[in-house]
């Protein structure tokens, strides 16, 4: 058994704030409920109707329970018995004997009935601001998920069965894992021991060819005898590690592109610390994007480059294109951006979904102490926030499996990446919360980069490929579609299957998710989907077909000289470059790749 109190009795409690369901500050939830409460208090008739509705639902449920207990399963009137195998609605515990107990079914049905009544009552309140209602509904769903009978060991049929089978060993193992996670400060969702960055993850061969305070720039080793003359720059989100695009040999977008003949470059953002507190959007655009493009121009001698941005990486690319399209822009890169590919990217933040709840002034105030003290938002906070957006999948699933069933999480590449969070600078967190999510300045054309207003409709003659995913909970596809209306250039909008990560990282060999295309000009997202054509296979193939005519002639692979270190570099591990020790000749090595 783990010695939990070896050094500091109850020392694990210091981490419990990080172990919470997310950074679900109760003050933010209470503010939403108070404002809804003010409205419903002024509608006494609504309260009376809601109470009567709840009573009717409970009475109906009670009647159903009595019928369930007394149900006759024998057609012969002379032979009567209780149907303990009755299963009106098959669930995840359908093969469990406890599932067939009417009382256990009643508990779950009571929870479902109460939950639907709560949400229906909330929706019936008139006069509530849409954003307040969105926040109240989100937090109510969190409470409903929390109170699910499945989250309580003696109300969960699967846990009861496992406890009987193991003599309680599952609960003992679960307690050990619970205490370990409390000490760590977060729920363990993945067996991280199976992966090592550079070996199993982010393992595509390449070199770090440039470095500044914000980025390492990686050039990947060519694997083909000839390459396309025009290179491509991958711009990952700065709120996650870059290797989502290079998970492993089979799931790597990078490896797939290299093997097709692309010369691929990748930005690896620094994991910021206190000294980066003032690094904001301008720094990420100029020191990140433009510095990278300039270095690539020196190496390849190409006159143009294609850019691919994932999530806010795509937002950054779009902002730079708008900046470069403005006559007053003062800093131009040494090569032209010929096309842009935007993966699950928000440009119009009006319908930003549940993520917007964590970008409000109230939320910013709740984390302001940490921002002022540290100069950055701890990556663990964002990890917990993203987990809260899919609480049943990312929190309660592991709460039940680990702490009650005693089952250790398995190894999964995407979950490894997901649990490897990145800090966000104070300046960038404030910018995202206020300028993007709250004020939606990019849509209105009033956001500025380098003092220049960013008007996306100035972008012309630069083809754009936009891919969103139908189950995306971070960038709702309808909101991503709204962004297409802001441009004044050729756009191919494609809708992939699955969600924000699995739908984007969908290599052709898997043939797992379909995608939708629509050659018609449709302004409404739902009309677009209604008239779209569903195709099997990966959208990666569709993207390659789209970009191939713009890649130029085939040339000999480029060579790397004076590289700094091997990929995946060091920023993927640390933030402070002064803490990194190098080989004496690290900055002056030569190799042909």
The model's pLDDT over 235-255, given as tens digits with 9 standing for 90+, comes to: 999 999 999 999 999 999 999
Which tens digits make up the pLDDT trace of 322-338? Answer: 999 999 999 999 999 99
Contact, 158 vs 149, CB < 8 A?
Answer: no
Q: Which whole number is the average pLDDT over 253-269?
A: 98
CATH code given to domain 206-351+440-579 = 3.40.50.1820
> Residue 592: exposed, middle, or buried by beta-carbon count in 10 A (0-12, 13-18, 19+)?
exposed
How does DSSP classify residue 437?
I
The rounded distance, in Å, linking the Cα atoms of 524 and 542 is 23
Asked if 531 and 518 count as a contact pair (C-beta separation under 8 A), the reply is yes
Sequence-separated (6 or more) residues with CB below 8 Å from residue 51: none
Taking a C-beta distance cutoff of 8 angstroms, is the pair 244, 501 a contact?
yes
What's the pLDDT band for 74 if we cut at 50, 70, 90? very low
Q: Is the pLDDT reported for residue 592 higher than 50?
A: no
Asked if residue 437 has pLDDT above 90, the reply is: yes
Query: Is residue 95 pLDDT above 70, yes or no?
Result: no
Q: Where are the domains of the chain?
A: 206-351+440-579
Tokens of 398: 């592991």
Residue 315 pLDDT exceeds 50: yes
Identify which of 264, 272, 314 has the alpha carbon closest to the alpha carbon of residue 289: 314
**How many C-beta atoms surround the C-beta of residue 12 within 10 A?**
19
What is the predicted pLDDT for the residue at 85? 37
- CA dist 153 and 566 (Å) reads 49
Mean pLDDT on 51-61 = 94
pLDDT at 71: 65
For the ranges 28-37, 293-302, 469-478, the lowest mean pLDDT is seen at: 28-37
pLDDT exceeds cutoff 80 at 17: no
- What is the pLDDT averaged over residues 129-152? 91
At 346 the pLDDT is 97
Q: Write down the pLDDT at residue 96.
A: 60
The string of pLDDT tens digits covering residues 457-504 is: 999 999 999 999 999 999 999 999 999 999 999 999 999 999 999 999
Of 57-61, 94-98, 169-173, 562-566, least confident by mean pLDDT is 94-98
Residue 576 has pLDDT above 60, yes or no: no
**What would the pLDDT profile of 554-573 be if each residue is shown by its tens digit?**
999 998 888 999 999 999 98
CB 24 within 8 A of CB 138: no
- What pLDDT was estimated at residue 66? 87
Residue 562: per-residue pLDDT:
85
pLDDT for 175 equals 95
Query: Is the model's pLDDT at 313 over the cut of 70?
Result: yes
| Weakest mean pLDDT among 191-200, 462-471, 545-554 | 191-200
Sequence-ordered list of residues with C-beta below 8 angstroms from that of 469, at least 6 positions apart, any chain = 344, 477, 495, 496, 497, 498, 499, 500, 502, 503, 504
Two structure tokens written together for 345: 């990217």
Average pLDDT of 395-418?
Answer: 93
Say yes or no to pLDDT of 583 above 70.
Answer: no
Instruction: Quote the pLDDT of residue 500.
Output: 94
pLDDT of residue 94: 46
Predicted confidence (pLDDT) at residue 19 exceeds the cutoff of 60: no
The pLDDT confidence band at residue 72, using thresholds 50, 70 and 90, is very low
Confidence of residue 13 (pLDDT cuts 50, 70, 90): very low
With residue 108 as reference, give the H or E element that holds it: helix 102-124
CA distance 133 to 479: 19
The pLDDT, as a whole number, for residue 184 is 83
The pLDDT of residue 144 is: 93
Rounded to a whole number, what is the distance in angstroms from the first to the last CA of the chain? 51
* 3-class DSSP state of 113: helix
Q: What is the mean pLDDT of residues 441-470?
A: 96
d(CA 426, CA 367): 10
Whether 231 and 306 have beta carbons less than 8 Å apart is answered as yes
Question: Does residue 181 have a pLDDT over 60?
Answer: yes
**Mean per-residue pLDDT over the chain, rounded:** 87
Q: Known catalytic residues?
A: 311
Tokens of 281: 């959007």
Please tell me whether the peptide bond between 568 and the residue prior to it is cis, using omega within 30 degrees of 0.
yes
CA distances from 363 to 126, 374, 385 (A): 25, 17, 11
- Dihedral sign (CA 199, 204, 210, 212): negative
Q: Which position has the token pair 């490894």?
A: 416
Residue 524 tokens, joined: 């409404």
- Give bridge partners of residue 273 from the DSSP assignment: none
Percentage of residues of the chain with pLDDT beyond 70: 87
- Longest Cα pair distance anywhere in the chain, in angstroms? 93
- On whether the CB atoms of residues 323 and 329 are closer than 8 A, the answer is yes
Q: Torsion-angle region of residue 406: left (phi > 0), alpha (psi -120 to 50) or beta?
A: left
Distances (CA, A) of 278 to 210, 274, 425, 478, 484: 22, 9, 7, 33, 31
Q: Are strands 232-235 and 452-453 parallel, antiparallel or unpaired?
A: unpaired
At 55, phi and psi to the nearest 5? -60, -45
| Residue in the structure block whose two tokens are 């995840």 | 92
The answer to whether 399 and 187 are in contact (CB under 8 A) is yes
What average pLDDT does the segment 28-43 reach? 84
Region of poorest pLDDT, from 368-372, 432-436, 506-510: 368-372
Is 179 a residue whose pLDDT tops 90?
yes
Whether residue 21 is predicted with pLDDT greater than 80 in this model: the reply is no
pLDDT of residue 105: 86
Q: Give the span between the Cα atoms of 156 and 148, in whole angstroms.
A: 9
Average pLDDT over residues 179-193: 88
- pLDDT band of residue 400 (cuts 50, 70, 90) is very high
Whether pLDDT at 353 is above 60: yes
The whole-angstrom separation of Cα 399 and Cα 325 is: 50
| pLDDT at residue number 236 | 97
Following DSSP, what letter does each residue of 253-280 receive, concatenated?
HHHHHHHHT--EEEEEE----GGGTT--
Q: Is the pLDDT of residue 317 over 80?
A: yes
Which of 290, 297, 299, 305 shows the shortest CA–CA distance to 231? Answer: 305
25 confidence band (pLDDT: 50, 70, 90): low
Residue 86 pLDDT exceeds 80:
no
pLDDT of res. 350: 92
């Amino acid at each position: 058994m783990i010695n939990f109190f070896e050094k500091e009795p109850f020392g694990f409690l210091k981490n419990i704030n990080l172990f919470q369901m997310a950074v679900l500050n109760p003050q933010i939830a209470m503010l939403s409920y108070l404002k809804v409460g003010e409205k419903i208090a002024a509608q006494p008739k609504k309260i009376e109707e809601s109470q009567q509705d709840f009573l009717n639902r409970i009475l109906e449920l009670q009647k159903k329970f009595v019928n369930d207990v007394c149900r006759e399963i024998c057609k012969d009137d002379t032979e009567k018995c209780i149907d303990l195998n009755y299963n009106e609605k098959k669930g995840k515990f359908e093969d469990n004997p406890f599932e067939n107990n009417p009382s256990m079914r009643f508990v779950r049905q009571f929870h479902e009935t109460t939950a639907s009544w709560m949400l229906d009552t909330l929706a019936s309140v008139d006069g509530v601001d849409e954003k307040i209602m969105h926040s109240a509904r989100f937090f109510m769903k969190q409470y409903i998920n929390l109170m699910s009978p499945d989250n309580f060991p003696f109300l969960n049929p699967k846990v009861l069965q496992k406890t009987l089978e193991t003599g309680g060993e599952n609960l003992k193992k679960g307690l050990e894992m619970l205490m370990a996670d409390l000490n760590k400060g977060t729920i363990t969702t993945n067996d991280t021991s199976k992966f090592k960055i550079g070996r199993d993850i982010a393992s595509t061969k390449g070199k770090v060819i440039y470095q500044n305070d914000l980025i390492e720039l990686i050039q990947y080793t060519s694997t083909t005898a000839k390459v396309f003359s025009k290179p491509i720059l991958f711009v990952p989100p700065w709120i996650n590690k870059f290797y989502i695009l290079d998970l492993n040999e089979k799931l790597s977008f990078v490896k797939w592109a290299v093997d097709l003949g692309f010369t691929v470059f990748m930005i690896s953002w620094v994991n910021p610390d206190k000294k980066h507190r003032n690094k904001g959007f301008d720094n990420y655009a100029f020191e990140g994007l433009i510095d990278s493009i300039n270095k690539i121009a020196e190496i390849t001698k190409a006159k143009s480059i294609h850019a691919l941005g994932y999530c806010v990486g795509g937002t950054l690319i779009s902002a730079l294109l708008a900046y470069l399209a403005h006559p007053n822009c003062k800093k131009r890169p040494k090569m032209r951006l010929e096309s842009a590919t935007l993966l699950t990217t928000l440009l119009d933040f009006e319908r930003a979904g549940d993520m917007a709840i964590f970008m409000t002034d109230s939320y910013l105030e709740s984390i302001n102490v940490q921002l002022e003290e540290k100069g950055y938002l701890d990556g663990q906070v964002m990890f917990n926030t993203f987990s809260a957006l899919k609480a049943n999948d990312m929190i309660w699933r592991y709460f039940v499996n680990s702490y009650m069933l005693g089952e250790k999480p398995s190894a999964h590449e995407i979950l490894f990446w997901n649990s490897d969070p990145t800090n966000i600078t104070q300046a960038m967190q404030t910018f995202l919360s206020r300028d993007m999510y709250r004020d939606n300045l990019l849509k209105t054309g009033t956001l500025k980069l380098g003092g220049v207003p960013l008007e996306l409709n100035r972008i012309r003659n630069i083809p754009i490929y936009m891919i969103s995913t139908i189950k995306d909970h971070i960038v709702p596809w309808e909101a991503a579609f709204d962004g297409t209306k802001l441009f004044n250039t050729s756009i191919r909008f494609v809708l992939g299957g699955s969600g924000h990560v699995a739908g984007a990282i969908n290599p052709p060999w898997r043939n797992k998710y379909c995608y939708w295309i629509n050659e018609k000009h449709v302004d409404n997202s739902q009309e677009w989907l209604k008239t779209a054509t569903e195709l099997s296979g990966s959208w990666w193939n569709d993207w390659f077909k789209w970009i191939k005519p713009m890649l130029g002639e085939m040339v000999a692979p480029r060579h790397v000289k004076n590289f700094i270190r091997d990929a995946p570099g060091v920023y993927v591990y640390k933030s402070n470059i002064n803490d990194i020790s190098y080989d004496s000749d690290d900055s002056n090595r030569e190799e042909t790749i």
